[in-house]
């Protein structure tokens, strides 16, 4: 019995909901056709517009914040791979290996901490902020339905109040029929019954109107208070969110800067301790084919070796007395070069350059690596090449794009041009390495 009763209640509720949907649909159609007026609240409609705008902005901010976090995670992975590469190439006997490994570990921990704090202090707060919107959005939609119910009940009650002629017509027709078949005394009772029935319908319509109005106004009052408050709260939320992100990013970069400085100190120490080691690099022999995209150095003039040895990194091992003269660059007194070249070379080796005016430059081109001296004349065959004469000193600088460097070629600027304060872009060029010898 209880089960049958439960099923009956459920069926009744479903039927009631279906009837409500039909009534609302009819009311909306009448309102759109202009046959029924619609209750308007411009102030509330503005609050709803603000709510929708706030929801859109918050959703976008949440999406962009998640994208930012994904980028931080990607940068973490890239940084981790880079440090792993350094650890692999850092040989065990090199000084500072333990320090470099420790820096890599701290780097990894710093990225993890930064990402986690962004999640805790920004993303979770963002999720909580947006978590209140679905409920309010649902209540706004429900208020809209209750407003349609209220309008429908109001129109029904008003139609009963103002349709007296229709009611008289409905009552008069049965009476006229009964006049032919019923006694006179019955006609009065029947009319009284119909009037009472009409009054009952009006009373029921009035009760439904009062009930619908109460439900609507309760929901309307609550939303009228909450929506403006929610709209004003966005300012404080945006301020706190971006302050948290900015503060976390600032602290992260400060700590990362310290780690990078420590790593730089380790590498500088490594360079100082291993920079004195000497090893010989032989230039590769070239064929005479020279193209713009694949330069090959031309062989030096007849009687000179095609691939002279180049000493890299200063302080060579003590040469034997027989080979000492060949391993070291000639001093000005030993050189057979013209006097002007000898003076320039002597000043260069001593660290001061004197021009024709008696004043030279003490600075060096950006990225300066070392100096070389031309051992043979070289005639440039392209606009990006240096024209060299035996004895010219060239300041070697790196290629702007390392991929453009061809094997056996160097980038540099003649020291004489640099001392004349010529622009680097105008005086730099490439030259064949096997036409020169390193001097500093």
Compute and round to an integer the Cα radius of gyration of the chain. Answer: 47
Q: pLDDT (tens digit, 0 to 9) for every residue of the chain, 440 residues total?
A: 555 555 555 766 676 666 666 776 766 666 666 656 667 788 889 999 999 999 999 999 999 999 999 999 999 999 999 999 999 999 998 999 999 999 999 999 999 999 999 999 999 999 999 999 999 999 999 988 888 888 888 887 777 777 655 555 554 455 455 455 555 555 555 555 566 666 777 778 778 888 888 888 888 888 989 999 999 999 999 999 999 999 999 999 999 999 999 999 999 999 888 765 544 444 444 444 444 445 556 666 655 544 444 444 444 444 443 333 333 344 333 334 444 344 444 444 444 444 333 345 678 898 999 999 999 999 988 888 999 999 999 999 999 888 888 888 999 999 999 888 888 888 999 999 999 999 97
Q: What six digits make up the tokens of 89? A: 């190439």
Q: Taking each helix axis as running N to C, give the angle between helix 133-162 and helix 184-274, from 0 to 180 degrees, rounded to the nearest 10.
A: 160
Phi, psi of 426 (to 5 degrees): -85, -25
Phi, psi of 439 (to 5 degrees): -120, -15
Query: How far is the CA of 127 from the CAs of 99, 115, 133, 156, in angstroms?
Result: 41, 16, 10, 45
Query: How far is the CA of 339 from the CAs of 336, 344, 372, 435, in angstroms?
Result: 9, 9, 19, 21
CB-based contacts of 391, cutoff 8 Å, min separation 6: 335, 337, 338, 341, 342, 345, 373, 374
d(CA 52, CA 155): 31
d(CA 406, CA 425): 19
Phi, psi of 435 (to 5 degrees): -95, 0
Smallest Cα–Cα separation from 244: which of 128, 353, 120?
A: 120
Q: What six digits make up the tokens of 5? A: 């009763």
Cα 276 to chain centroid, rounded: 45
d(CA 112, CA 122): 15
d(CA 85, CA 270): 17
Domains recognised in the chain with CATH numbers: 22-274 (1.20.1270.60), 281-438 (2.30.30.40)
CB-based contacts of 255, cutoff 8 Å, min separation 6: 110
Query: How far is the CA of 250 from the CAs of 238, 242, 247, in angstroms?
Result: 18, 12, 5
- State the chain's maximal CA–CA distance in angstroms: 156
Q: What six digits make up the tokens of 126? A: 């963002």
pTM listed for this prediction: 0.49
Instruction: Sheet with 428-432: list strands edge to edge.
Output: 428-432, 409-414, 393-397, 370-374, 436-438
What digits encode the pLDDT tens for the residues 265-275? 999 999 888 76
CB atoms within 10 A of CB 125: 16
d(CA 423, CA 366): 12
d(CA 329, CA 373): 9
Using CB atoms within 10 A of its CB, is residue 396 exposed (0-12), middle (13-18) or buried (19+)?
buried
Determine if residue 162 is left, alpha or beta; phi over 0 gives left, psi from -120 to 50 gives alpha, anything else beta: alpha
| β-sheet bridge partners, residue 354 | none
Q: What six digits make up the tokens of 176? A: 């006229």
- What pLDDT is stored for residue 188 in this prediction? 57
CB atoms within 10 A of CB 224: 15
At 395, is the secondary structure helix, strand, or coil? Answer: strand
């Amino acid at each position: 019995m209880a089960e049958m009763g439960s099923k009956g209640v459920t069926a009744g509720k479903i039927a009631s909901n279906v009837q409500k949907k039909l009534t609302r649909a009819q009311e909306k159609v009448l309102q759109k056709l202009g046959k029924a007026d619609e209750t308007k609240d411009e102030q509330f409609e503005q609050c709803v517009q603000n709510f929708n705008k706030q929801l859109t902005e918050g959703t976008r901010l949440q999406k962009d914040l998640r994208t930012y976090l994904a980028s931080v995670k990607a940068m973490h992975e890239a940084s981790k791979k880079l440090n792993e590469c350094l650890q692999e190439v850092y040989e065990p006997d090199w000084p500072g290996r333990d320090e470099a490994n420790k820096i890599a570990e701290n780097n990894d921990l710093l990225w993890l901490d930064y990402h986690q704090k962004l999640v805790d202090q920004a993303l979770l707060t963002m999720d909580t902020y947006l978590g209140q919107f679905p409920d309010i959005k649902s209540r706004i939609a429900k208020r809209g339905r209750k407003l349609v119910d209220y309008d429908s009940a109001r129109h029904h009650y008003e139609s009963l109040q103002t349709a007296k002629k229709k009611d008289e017509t409905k009552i008069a027709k049965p009476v006229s029929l009964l006049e032919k078949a019923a006694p006179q005394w019955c006609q009065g009772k029947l009319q009284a019954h119909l009037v009472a029935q009409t009054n009952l319908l009006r009373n029921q319509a009035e009760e439904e109107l009062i009930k619908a109005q109460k439900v609507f106004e309760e929901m309307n009052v609550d939303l009228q208070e909450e929506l403006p408050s929610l709209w004003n709260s966005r300012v404080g939320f945006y301020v706190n969110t971006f302050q948290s992100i900015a503060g976390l990013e600032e602290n992260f970069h400060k700590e990362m800067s310290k780690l990078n400085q420590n790593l730089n100190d380790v590498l500088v120490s490594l360079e100082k301790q291993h920079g004195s080691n000497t090893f010989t690099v032989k230039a590769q022999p070239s064929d005479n084919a020279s193209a713009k995209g694949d330069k090959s150095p031309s062989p030096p003039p007849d009687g000179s070796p095609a691939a002279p040895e180049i000493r890299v990194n200063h302080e060579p091992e003590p040469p034997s007395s027989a080979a000492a003269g060949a391993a070291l660059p000639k001093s000005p007194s030993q050189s057979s070069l013209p006097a002007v070249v000898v003076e320039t070379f002597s000043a260069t080796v001593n660290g001061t350059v004197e021009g024709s005016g008696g004043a030279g430059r003490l600075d060096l081109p950006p990225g300066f690596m070392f100096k070389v001296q031309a051992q043979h004349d070289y005639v440039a065959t392209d606009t990006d090449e240096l024209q060299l004469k035996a004895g010219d000193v060239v300041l070697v600088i790196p290629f702007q794009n390392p991929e453009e460097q061809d094997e056996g070629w160097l980038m540099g600027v003649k020291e004489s041009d640099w001392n004349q304060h010529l622009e680097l872009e105008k005086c730099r060029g490439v030259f064949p390495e096997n036409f020169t010898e390193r001097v500093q």
